[in-house]
Structure 1
């Protein structure tokens, strides 16, 4: 098992791809445990949807970052948190999401015009854009460039910590005086300071951009109460720590995943100018130079295809962890209680028996006509009851941003070869993606 462990630590994606190529379902000896890797759509659908009650979440590392939140809890606590968060991420909020996305992407377009053909760091720009969108939509606030850079640095440290602990043979206690532990605790303290400032400022009636007549997620959390466990017990409001956990989760999950998706989307468009031109011509025809609205979404199929193909090849959440709470069976194979199960959207999205011989190729046209796919075949946001609550938010934001940007710019890639992905919590580029945004003529 030592060989498997070191191969996995050296290059997780390559190791898992080679393992999955031998069998769509594979037992992997890692350290003291055996992990079951599943990639076939029917297995994915079983674990995440049909038999979801038999499989719990394994999020010990994320609890260190986000605490007990909608992403890391189960049972009644999860139901309670999901209900609150879902309200702010559902269809009724999409006009606000579209409007905010349009405003922020216009700022990006103006910034790129001022570059006058100079190169830019694509991932940095996408992180700034998505962070501004999530902060404005969810918390009715804005963020300065200095705060943005501070947040970016803290998030990078958190990602490094989670990756190191996840790939490590031994889980080093957080109390151990290691350099990484120290950087991690400092990063969490930095983010906590900003989040608690936001919470306490709102409690005091401040820290809001816009009208208080339009309550945001932070308002909902401040008003939220726990359901009484006893008939005579009064409802209790959420403590600041509980609100902090949800804010931290939305802040990280809602910004990081869309930033990475947009980084990959524009990198791919730069390497496929024919596709970029299709999206450009569609955007010009539909929008005529204006910013898009929610009503335009259905009239931007080329942009939507680009988003779907990007999420297929580079799903931000590339690996989903589950723990078998009871003994189960997958196509007759016994899954003992206590088994760690890995579902990999990255691998499932590249199965040739589902997507064809060109499964590794970038072909947005495969999404024309809404192809029928097996349940569990396309899972960028998961599937089943624990499917990402922000999937509609993300798809709306991604499609409108792609259309808005492509209406005005094409991209000259400056990296000699495509930047390979680096699997952390999300699927990040392993190096800077440098591009030159060039106005269409």
Structure 2
């Protein structure tokens, strides 16, 4: 292993155009470009965009080194600056001592036992959404992406604020958040970053949306401190750093709440959308889900205790997350010059890590494009390197809401297939639309 920076070799690199580098490929098909770079150059590769050098890392051992073994040397850094426009100092955007304190405060609220207190709220929200599907029983096509987005947004708002929030506030929060989230994506794609006070129409619309968010969230925090409830807000208010005894300020509480809105509904919505897509295309899988749900639930509403018995349904979810990880891309910045298996990673380099590419790599997965929930039987899991699968990230910064997301997806699929068996409304291929999460291009039209 090399010991001096001067002894290290540069990562492999493709030929690219002067100045613009690989911007045309990145703009046309980012994930396709990442797949091609990995096939041609291996699990670490550098490439240029506007004369700046970036790295792509997909080899599981390298990913583990960055996210886990040597995570202190790789921070989120400038990769999350656009996100701060909306999310402030939310946990997924933080580093160092501040991140550690926030993680210690928040972690107990997302423990499985704590989440049991909000499971009934989740179940009621799912029932309400499924009841609304009766209007589609005449085979009227509907967009499953929209349905799952509405469901998961309703779940996260109602589990966060319990009975303290009105239906009008739920609708206002949902609309404001959609506007703010779309703006955040748009802003990340702009080469020229104008200040938010500059009177662009998008700036004006975004600023109004953020005012609505803040005007609803801050009073709810104040009320929650005076009258704590058994909801996520109550858990966050009661959460304290075990070492210092400190809780969160209102401003930090606001940032964490908005971050949970973003991370807690869009990722689950896209995972569920892709789940319905894959299940509808694999009728033998659908039959096994229906059989398992009938056997375990016997036509009754599920409870939290039932989830551990829905083993095949859970395998299906894990395989969906392999093929279509909603959090398909994240980034780290090297704090100082770093060595990775003899390669030099210069200080300040932005490194892209993409579960999507690792999950589709035939070096680690047999027949990786095939949807096969049997990959996630306990026996098959035990036979492979666990580092090849990381839909929720890895290491200390692994998604804090992974248990909540899994519970939400298990309950939604079980309750859906008790009543319906959605089919694709068209035989046309569904393309990928990688935005803040991995979306289907053109939505996901289905029918009952």
2:375 is aligned with 1:366: yes
2:278 is aligned with 1:268: yes
Quick check: 1:135–1:141 contact (8 Å CA) kept in 2?
no
> Partner residue of 1:40?
59
Distance 1:168 1:321, change over 3 A: same
- For normalisation by structure 2, the TM-score amounts to 0.87
Cα drift, residue 124 of structure 1:
1.8
Cα drift, residue 343 of structure 1:
0.5
2:322 is aligned with 1:304: no
Quick check: 2:267–2:327 contact (8 Å CA) kept in 1?
yes
Q: Map of 1:12-411 to 2, 5 A cutoff? A: 12-23=30-41, 24-57=43-76, 58-117=79-138, 118-141=140-163, 147-203=169-225, 205=227, 215-223=230-238, 238-356=248-366, 358-368=367-377, 369-371=379-381, 372-411=383-422
Distance 1:225 1:401, change over 3 A: closer
Quick check: 1:280–1:408 contact (8 Å CA) kept in 2?
no
Higher alpha-carbon deviation: 416-425 or 270-279? 416-425
2:427 is aligned with 1:416: yes
Listed one character per residue, the Cα deviations across residues 36-85 of structure 1 (whole Å, up to 9, x for unaligned) are 10011111111100110100013111111111121211222212221222
Distance 1:338 1:290 in 2: 55
Distance 2:32 2:325 in 1: 16
Distance 1:148 1:136, change over 3 A: closer
Distance 1:34 1:162, change over 3 A: farther
Distance 1:260 1:78, change over 3 A: same
Distance 2:351 2:257 in 1: 28
Unaligned runs of 5+ in 1: 206-211, 230-234
Quick check: 2:293–2:414 contact (8 Å CA) kept in 1?
yes
Q: Secondary structure at the match of 1:163?
A: helix
Listed one character per residue, the Cα deviations across residues 235-272 of structure 1 (whole Å, up to 9, x for unaligned) are 87643222111111111111111111111111221222
Listed one character per residue, the Cα deviations across residues 360-395 of structure 1 (whole Å, up to 9, x for unaligned) are 222222223342332431111100000011111111
Quick check: 2:117–2:231 contact (8 Å CA) kept in 1?
no
Quick check: 2:239–2:247 contact (8 Å CA) kept in 1?
yes
Quick check: 2:319–2:372 contact (8 Å CA) kept in 1?
yes
Quick check: 2:156–2:265 contact (8 Å CA) kept in 1?
yes
Listed one character per residue, the Cα deviations across residues 154-184 of structure 1 (whole Å, up to 9, x for unaligned) are 3343343333333333334334333333332
Distance 1:360 1:11, change over 3 A: same
Listed one character per residue, the Cα deviations across residues 254-307 of structure 1 (whole Å, up to 9, x for unaligned) are 111111111111122122222111101110011111121222222212211110
Cα drift, residue 96 of structure 1:
2.6
Distance 1:7 1:419 in 2: 20
Higher alpha-carbon deviation: 248-257 or 165-174? 165-174
Quick check: 1:106–1:291 contact (8 Å CA) kept in 2?
no
Distance 1:237 1:54, change over 3 A: closer
Quick check: 1:31–1:169 contact (8 Å CA) kept in 2?
no
Higher alpha-carbon deviation: 310-319 or 291-300? 291-300
Quick check: 2:66–2:74 contact (8 Å CA) kept in 1?
yes
Quick check: 2:21–2:49 contact (8 Å CA) kept in 1?
no
Distance 1:112 1:142, change over 3 A: farther
Distance 2:239 2:109 in 1: 13
Count residues with an aligned counterpart.
Answer: 424
Quick check: 1:160–1:424 contact (8 Å CA) kept in 2?
no
Distance 1:93 1:29 in 2: 46
